[in-house]
Amino acid sequence: MNKMKNLLVYFSLASMSRANNPPIASISTPETTSEKKSSTSDTVSPSLWHRTYENELPDYIYEPPFDYVIGIIIQPCGVNETKDKSLVDGVYYNTLGYDCCMNKFGMGEYGFLKSVVLTQYQDTALLGSRIPNFRQLARHDEILNNIDLVDERGATLSYKNSRRSDDETFVDYSCRGERDPFLHCMDEYLGARRSKMMAPCWDNNQTVYANLECYSVDGHKLGEKCMQFAYIQNALVHTCGGIFSNDTECGTYVEVHRRNGSPYDHEDVVLAETKITETTNYGMITTTIPLTYKTQEHKNRTLCAYVENKVRVGSMVFIKKTAPHCCCPKVFSQRTQLGSFFCPRRQNTKDGPFAGTLRTTRELYENDKLMSQYPFCHHAVDSVDELMCSAQSDSTIELTCNDDAVCKEQGRFYTYPCRPVIPQTTRTNTWYTSPDLAGIYPAACPLGELFRACALKPPSETFCRGSDDARGFRDEVGKVAGIPKTPNGTYNITFNDGRTTYNFRRSEFELIKPDSNYELWWVQRRGRERKVRYKKSFRVIHPKCTFDTAEDQYLPFALYNSNGEFVASVPSYSQTTVLPGHP
């Protein structure tokens, strides 16, 4: 799983420009008398960085480390508030101490549904969005017989090395055999269910209750709506001392974000946060984070089991097989050095419309090496996607050999933008082809300027004609970048995080409902700059979100009145601050 890899660039603690910004301290420094007074104060002074960046939003840059590792597990000792309790919302849990993951090592184990299981699921609501050619994450209570165990990076785990308890078996007279007629069936009259026993230091990121209390590792109640998490970093944690010790724009923080945002908040909006104060660790350190929505602003709101059923800017979508598929010149071959290829090119990813923007020095360096290798792209500008063709010159070149004799060298290879298709009209039909295509087709490709050298593949034909190859966006995952103003308009969808976009009709894609609804971001703050070193997904399953009847959609939080009672719906978002029961 390339998307889950932990490879990128080391974070430098060098000072920012001295002309405009104060220097930043990464470790404690000797304090003057005035500094001691300010640092011992119980109140947090306004950030020193606000003198320069008062009216600007912070810049988030995602740069996972390449020479050290960060790890986070959610609720490592079980669901919040479950110690000495056995039942939470109808589900039984074993009791673990709140310090079960303090200065110890742990990891999560996850399950992908086996292919034979996917074919038996009839109700897609059990799985959320089912995407062909993608591995489907199993529910947290799925039995071992139906899943392939993996770690956080998607690497396969052996069952004999798993810390998960064996499943419980029970008599079920409805079972006729393995997965017959139900997926929990193991054999005739024998069923299985996940064990209620739980290992300590375990990742419970799929079952978060945002309305429960949480406690410190020594059992003290810390808040009414919060959760435990455990973290580890096998390198010095970036913290700030001296006059920056209480600065909210300096140090390492764990922040809660909504992936791809919501209609109410951008993805970069911090929904909750906690500061990391330990510079070193000798195992996982357990701490807590509030789950109130925008902690300092709204005490009567919590995170919730947020889902979206409407397509908006930022929504992730899956391109269906009803989308156009086009026939393009044959794909470039390294053996013959002939064929077509997409630009820009990228290392370890797809090219062309799937190539992301180069953001880091390391990415630019790797791209420079790639660009020096044949076949060559003509444009270095990232904003342009182009289909290029490679050919060989028909002429020969006369060269002087070592013995002063005249030698002939076969024509050299060169690249050029593939030539666009042109219509050819006969008495009865109009056909489209080009000098680079092997076949003729009834229509040009409608996917945009990138595919001007391609023709639309007839729906009745399985393959393209001749040596041509089929290309398009079927079975790809993209992000909505633009919404049409009219009901029959087209949506702008990007496959490279906004670098370029392509147009699709609503019938040509479906909305993806993600397996998680929130993320924890491990963030190193330096004034306006915030470097995200690690992201950890988690899913809040309770409480439900408050419904906005005016917009016919859920709000991104659960609302409570002054009596602590859940508010199921409100007439409009503007009325969420003044409710019955509030002064």
HEC states along 25-36?
A: CCCCCCCCHHHH
Please write down the HEC assignment for all residues of 224-275: CCEEEEEEEECCCCCCCCHHHCCCCCEEEEEEEECCCCCCCCCCCCCCEEEE
Write out the two tokens for 256. 């809660």
Please give the pLDDT value at position 143: 93
User: Where do the H-state alpha helices sit in 32-149?
Assistant: 33-39, 50-53, 115-118
Is 288 in contact with 219 (CB distance < 8 Å)? no
413 vs 339: CA distance, rounded Å: 11
Nearest C-alpha neighbor of 323 from the set 509, 134, 511, 131: 509
Write out the two tokens for 408. 């002939």
399 vs 218: CA distance, rounded Å: 83
182 vs 176: CA distance, rounded Å: 9
Give residues with Cβ within 8 angstroms of 562, minimum separation 6.
300, 579, 581, 582, 583
Write out the two tokens for 540. 């809040």
Is 140 in contact with 207 (CB distance < 8 Å)? yes
Q: Residues of 56-74 as b/e, b for ≥16 C-beta within 10 angstroms?
A: eebeebebbbeeeebbbbb
DSSP state of 522: E
* Bridge partners, 180 (sequence order): 177
- 426: how many CB neighbours lie within 10 A of its CB? 7
CA distances (Å), origin 553, targets 264, 309, 542: 11, 8, 17
Write out the two tokens for 544. 């439900």
Nearest C-alpha neighbor of 246 from the set 39, 50, 52, 54: 39
Write out the two tokens for 195. 């064990």
Give residues with Cβ within 8 angstroms of 276, minimum separation 6.
231, 237, 239, 251, 252, 253, 254, 287
**CA within 13 Å, CB half, 149:** 15
To 5 degrees, how large is the angle CA 108–CA 110–CA 116?
Answer: 165
pTM of the full structure: 0.74
CA distances (Å), origin 216, targets 80, 199, 228, 314, 434: 11, 19, 8, 37, 70
SS3 call for 203: coil
SS3 call for 194: coil
Please give the pLDDT value at position 4: 35
**CA within 13 Å, CB half, 152:** 21
Please give the pLDDT value at position 410: 63
Nearest C-alpha neighbor of 531 from the set 235, 307, 249, 335: 249
Is 188 in contact with 218 (CB distance < 8 Å)? no
164 vs 151: CA distance, rounded Å: 12
263-285: pLDDT as tens digits: 888 899 999 999 999 998 889 99
Which residues of the chain fall short of a pLDDT of 50? 1-55, 80-88, 92-94, 122-129, 578-583
Please write down the HEC assignment for all residues of 467-518: CCEEEECCCCEEEEEECCCCCCCCEEEECCCCCCCEEECHHHEEECCCCCCE
Q: Which helix (H) or strand (E) holds 361?
A: helix 361-371
319 vs 342: CA distance, rounded Å: 20
- 188: how many CB neighbours lie within 10 A of its CB? 12
What's the Rg (C-alpha) of the chain?
29
**Torsion angles phi and psi, residue 61, rounded to 5:** -125, 125
Write out the two tokens for 512. 């993806």
Is 255 in contact with 236 (CB distance < 8 Å)? no
Give residues with Cβ within 8 angstroms of 373, minimum separation 6.
none
DSSP string, 81-104: T-TT--EETTEE-----TTTTSSB
336 vs 435: CA distance, rounded Å: 19
